[in-house]
Amino acid sequence: MKFFILLIINLLLSLNALAVDTKADQAIVIDYNTGEVLFEKNADKKMPPASMTKIMTVYVAFDRLKQTNLSVNDQCTISPRAYKMGGSRTFLEIDEKVSIDVLLKGIIVQSGNDASVALAECLAGTEEDFAKLMNVYAENMGMLNTNFINSSGWPDENHFSTVRDLGVLSNTIIRDFPEMYEYFAMKEFLYNEINQPNRNRLLTHVVGSDGLKTGYTKKSGWGISGSAKRDKRRITVVINGTNSSRSRLNESSYLIDWAFNQTSEVTLFKKGEVIKNVDVWLGNKPTINLVIKEDVISILSFDQIKLIEASINYNKPIDAPIKNGDKLGNIILNIPGKDKIDVPLVAQNDIKEVNPLMKSFAAIKYLIFGTSLDEKQ
């Protein structure tokens, strides 16, 4: 027999979360610490990632620097193919020897297509082989709807990704390379007597912003993967398909501020918290506490917090023997706008089964009086 007890968790907060939306064609907002998606729009729609591709180019380079004897001071020779790349450039010269450090800055700050190709050729021999490496990394990260053809994001119908996949990539590079990630916070870079500002204007317009990368092609529109940290929280936003550089800045900064200002990290339950004391059948103790197995933390808007519904499910009575930590039930949390959360309830302690004589007595008593051994008359 199962009991379903409806709980309304009403945390008295006076603020109401504003409904969130965006003019971007695709968007996703992710809480970095928990991995929770706070908002999404067409998050799995395949799209040209444009220069946001370069986040993966940089990831591969960072990993090679970490896993091999390569140094940021190692030199790469600029090929004619790299030199001839159009679009945004670092203005490298043919046969020039340039450090990996310079190429990384050229890619991240200046979005240099020439620097992207030069780094790809330096690390893998050809850009085609480097793109194969990019796809291996993407698969390992679980980027299920991504395929890279080149290192720069140069338009190609077979070169695509999604904002969800780019969000995974962005958070992975932040997590895996915290020291090297500082490259993304550079606000400008001077090379070949040409000083270029970082195209990521979130760095100068949004509190706590420290990366990552913009992108633009005629087909994709204006996009950005951006991240900001305030106190202990980090928010990562990926948008694409806005109609101007200004719109890209406005939409991405709005979503970051919304996430920080209108959502909160809430501990719904703490590990070991007692939820209910329930009857035990044929045990050496009459009852047992059902407790929370692990902390349950979620990122919620203030409206969501006030509308949480929970149902507790368990069998009554619970048969002995019981071991500490045995799963005896669960709580199902229903939160508007989120998938159901299944919270295991476990035994707080051990309970032994009574001896055979007492078991027989309890069974007879139950048949005659309809009560268990330990229920009071």
Q: Which residue has the higher pLDDT, 1 or 179?
A: 179
Active site residue 271: no
Residue 260 lies in a domain: no
pLDDT of residue 287: 93
pLDDT of residue 350: 94
For residues 158 and 35, membership in a common domain is answered with yes
Q: Please determine, for residue 16, whether its predicted confidence score (pLDDT) is greater than 50.
A: no
pLDDT of residue 117: 98
pLDDT of residue 306: 85
- Structure confidence at residue 69 as a pLDDT band (50, 70, 90): very high
Give tens-digit pLDDT for 335-352: 988 889 999 999 999 999
Nearest Cα residue to 297 out of 334, 271, 259: 271
Residue 247 lies in a domain: no
Check: CB of residue 152 under 8 Å from CB of residue 85. Answer: yes
Active site residue 88: no
Looking up residue 31, the CATH number of its domain turns out to be 3.40.710.10
Give residue 133's domain range: 26-242
Going from the C-alpha of 221 to that of each of 44, 148, 171, 314, the distances in angstroms are 17, 18, 23, 52
Average pLDDT over every residue of 308-329: 92
pLDDT of residue 365: 60
pLDDT of residue 348: 96
For residues 96 and 183, membership in a common domain is answered with yes
Residues above pLDDT 90, as percent of the chain:
81
What's the mean pLDDT when you consider all of the chain?
A: 90
Nearest Cα residue to 57 out of 134, 126, 122, 137: 134
Phi, psi of 215 (to 5 degrees): -160, 150
List, in sequence order, every residue forming a beta bridge with 288; answer none if it has no partner. Answer: 278
Give tens-digit pLDDT for 111-168: 999 999 999 999 999 999 999 999 999 999 999 999 999 999 999 999 999 999 999 9
Q: Which residue has the higher pLDDT, 367 or 83?
A: 83
Maximum Cα–Cα distance across the chain:
97
For residues 98 and 206, membership in a common domain is answered with yes
Q: Please determine, for residue 5, whether its predicted confidence score (pLDDT) is greater than 70.
A: no
pLDDT of residue 366: 57
Residue 256 lies in a domain: no
Residues above pLDDT 70, as percent of the chain:
89
Average pLDDT over every residue of 226-230: 98
Angle at CA of residue 133, ends 127 and 135, nearest 5°? 105
For residues 293 and 156, membership in a common domain is answered with no
Active site residue 99: no
Residue 254 lies in a domain: no
pLDDT of residue 282: 87
Residue 352 lies in a domain: yes
For residues 140 and 209, membership in a common domain is answered with yes
pLDDT of residue 302: 81
Q: Give, as one character, the DSSP assignment of residue 52.
A: G
Q: By mean pLDDT, which of 20-24, 35-39, 149-153, 301-305 is the weakest?
A: 301-305
Q: Cα(115)–Cα(126) distance, rounded to whole angstroms?
A: 13
For residues 77 and 179, membership in a common domain is answered with yes
For residues 289 and 209, membership in a common domain is answered with no
For residues 34 and 67, membership in a common domain is answered with yes
Residue in the structure block whose two tokens are 């069974």 = 363
For residues 148 and 80, membership in a common domain is answered with yes
pLDDT of residue 338: 82
Give tens-digit pLDDT for 244-257: 999 999 999 999 99
Contact residues for 342 (Cβ-Cβ < 8 A; gap 6+)? 330, 331, 332, 333
List the structure tokens of 65: 């620097």
Domain count within the chain: 2
Give tens-digit pLDDT for 194-204: 999 999 999 99
List the structure tokens of 46: 């395949």
Give tens-digit pLDDT for 56-68: 999 999 999 999 9
pLDDT of residue 303: 82
- Structure confidence at residue 9 as a pLDDT band (50, 70, 90): very low
Burial of 344 (0-12, 13-18, 19+ CB in 10 A): middle
Residue 257 lies in a domain: no
Residue 21 lies in a domain: no
For residues 290 and 190, membership in a common domain is answered with no
For residues 287 and 233, membership in a common domain is answered with no
List the structure tokens of 266: 């809430």
Q: Cα(146)–Cα(330) distance, rounded to whole angstroms?
A: 37
pLDDT of residue 354: 81
Looking up residue 363, the CATH number of its domain turns out to be 2.60.410.10
Residue 47 lies in a domain: yes
Average pLDDT over every residue of 177-190: 97
Per the residue annotation, which of 41, 79, 88, 111 is the catalytic one? 111
pLDDT of residue 359: 57
- Structure confidence at residue 355 as a pLDDT band (50, 70, 90): low
Q: Which residue has the higher pLDDT, 319 or 138?
A: 138
pLDDT of residue 10: 37
pLDDT of residue 18: 43
For residues 185 and 223, membership in a common domain is answered with yes
pLDDT of residue 341: 93
Per the residue annotation, which of 41, 51, 88, 301 is the catalytic one? 51
